Structure 1
Amino acid sequence: MKNTIISSKNKVIDFVGKTFPGSTHDYTMLKKEFPPGLSWFKGINALLDLGYQGIQTDYAGDGIRIPHKKPRKSKNNPNPQLTEEQKKENRNLGRLRIFVENAIGGMKRFNILNFVFRNKKENFGDDVIALCAGLWNMMIID
């Protein structure tokens, strides 16, 4: 199961999206929760991973940053590489995004998120992820 998680630089979880099956692509989940065409990301810095390729064309906002993807191997480019500047930008972005990854990892300290749910209660996954996010935020704020 997967969720969209929005976290701040101080590791506080600000948003927990609806639970989707694990096979759902990250960007598809984002488009369902934040429909394109509205100004969701104007005025904020959104630091994303490569699972959100295409966001800069579908959403408006100057603060949307995504890492550079290594080019594909082809006949014309048998050894594709990122430039040193692109590698430096990716490292700088990773240094900022690590706080979000730490927040997500902090939620996973609660073992219920690490195992298969066998409960068939409707919206059980949404309830569990929201509770874990709330518990994590309580630990961070104290």
Structure 2
Amino acid sequence: MCRAFPNTLKGPARIWFSRLTSNSIGTFKELIAQFASHFIGGHRYKKSIACLMSIKQREDETLRSYIACFNKEALSIDEVDDKILVAAFAIGLQKGKFLLSSYKNDSKTTSVVLYKATKYMNAKDALLVHEEKPKKRERQEES
């Protein structure tokens, strides 16, 4: 197996293997251990739930931006319970109308929370558009 192993390697792994000194490894098990210890730094580990609990919405951060950040981190966590995702999401939210409504409605799944967040953001955007229209009319009338 030690002789067949190099044929399966490409790129940096092949270079690493070619630089090993002759007879420096006695068994296949030892070869595997050295290979793993050399390339373990490139391995991406899944994050823990604690990372998710530490995400907080900044004062100047929009809900949309917070959701994007939260979702990115949630994807990097392996086998997380949906109830924990919902709780972590709510814990990280800034105090405000959306946080209050999310506690009132007590959503059970992440998809429901994100759906409600999207509806909230769309409603908020629509209100901003309505607030801007009178200002534009006032400017046009002054001209």
Kindly name which structure, 1 or 2, has the bigger radius of gyration based on alpha carbons: 2
Q: From the two aligned structures, give the one with the greater helix fraction.
A: 2
Q: From the two aligned structures, give the one with the greater strand fraction.
A: 1
Structure with more contact order per residue of length (Cα contacts < 8 Å, sep ≥ 6) = 1
TM-score (norm 2): 0.23
